[in-house]
């Protein structure tokens, strides 16, 4: 997947009539959708500090790993976050009460993929609620290569260094809630 420039993301937001906020998180789901792979992109766009425009990108997943696709936690199926803009939906907290993360603080909509194959699909039953769809890291010491049990539907960054950078930027932003926008890869 190509790396998108800030201007390209801004144009995509405009086309979809999404709000362009001075500090926001953006995920872009890969068309390839390689099973169990961190093949999506995560961007932090920070325009709060007008002296230093910060925009960076790292690898992530916006899909559940193969483990949770086949051993679903919810009888309705694995959670696949529906693309869209989720304003003020995450806050700083603890993922599974263990490590720092951005935790879900308002309802989101997911597709429930219940066919137990290896593809995260956006065509299942839509389900809206509080599901613990957090934004967190995978391994705490190394870059993860496969998703497997790291995600049951969360947005997961594969680099602990980049994730710690994200947390630091969120903390110094002065915001108490964070907006995440999930887009599909486009040409």
Q: Is 72 helix (H, G, I), strand (E, B) or coil?
A: coil
Quote the CA–CA distance of 157 and 45 in Å, as a whole number: 16
Closest CA to 20 of 185, 182, 181, 183: 181
Closest CA to 102 of 140, 129, 136: 136
Sign of CA dihedral 45, 175, 163, 110: negative
Quote the CA–CA distance of 33 and 31 in Å, as a whole number: 5
Closest CA to 44 of 52, 36, 54, 53: 54
The secondary element (H helix, E strand) that includes residue 163 is: helix 160-172
Closest CA to 156 of 134, 177, 171, 178: 134
Residue 107, domain extent:
6-184
Q: How many domains does the chain have?
A: 1
Calculate the CA 30 to chain-centre distance.
12
Q: Is residue 29 part of a domain?
A: yes
pLDDT for 56:
66
Q: Is residue 1 part of a domain?
A: no
- In this structure, how many other beta carbons lie within 10 angstroms of the beta carbon of residue 50? 7
Place of tokens 């879900």: 104
pLDDT in tens, the chain (187 residues): 888 988 999 999 999 999 999 999 999 999 998 999 999 999 999 887 654 455 667 899 999 999 999 998 999 999 999 999 999 999 999 999 899 999 999 999 999 999 999 889 998 899 999 999 999 999 999 999 999 999 999 999 999 999 999 999 999 999 999 999 999 999 8
- Prediction pTM value: 0.94
- In this structure, how many other beta carbons lie within 10 angstroms of the beta carbon of residue 81? 24
């Amino acid at each position: 997947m190509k790396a998108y420039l800030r201007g390209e993301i801004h144009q995509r937001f405009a086309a979809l009539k999404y709000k362009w906020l001075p500090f926001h998180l953006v995920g872009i789901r890969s068309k390839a959708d390689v099973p169990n792979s961190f093949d999506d992109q995560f961007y932090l766009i920070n325009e709060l500090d007008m002296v230093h425009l910060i925009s960076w990108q790292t690898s992530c997943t916006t899909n559940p790993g193969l483990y949770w696709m086949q051993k679903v936690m919810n009888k309705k199926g694995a959670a696949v976050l529906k693309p869209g803009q989720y304003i003020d939906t995450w806050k700083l907290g603890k993922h599974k009460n263990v490590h720092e993360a951005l935790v879900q603080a308002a309802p989101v909509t997911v597709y429930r993929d219940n066919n137990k194959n290896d593809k995260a699909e956006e065509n299942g039953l839509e389900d809206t609620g509080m599901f613990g769809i957090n934004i967190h890291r995978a391994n705490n010491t190394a870059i993860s290569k496969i998703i497997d049990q790291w995600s049951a539907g969360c947005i997961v960054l594969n680099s602990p260094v980049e994730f710690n950078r994200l947390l630091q930027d969120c903390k110094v932003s002065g915001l108490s809630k964070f907006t995440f926008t999930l887009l599909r890869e486009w040409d």
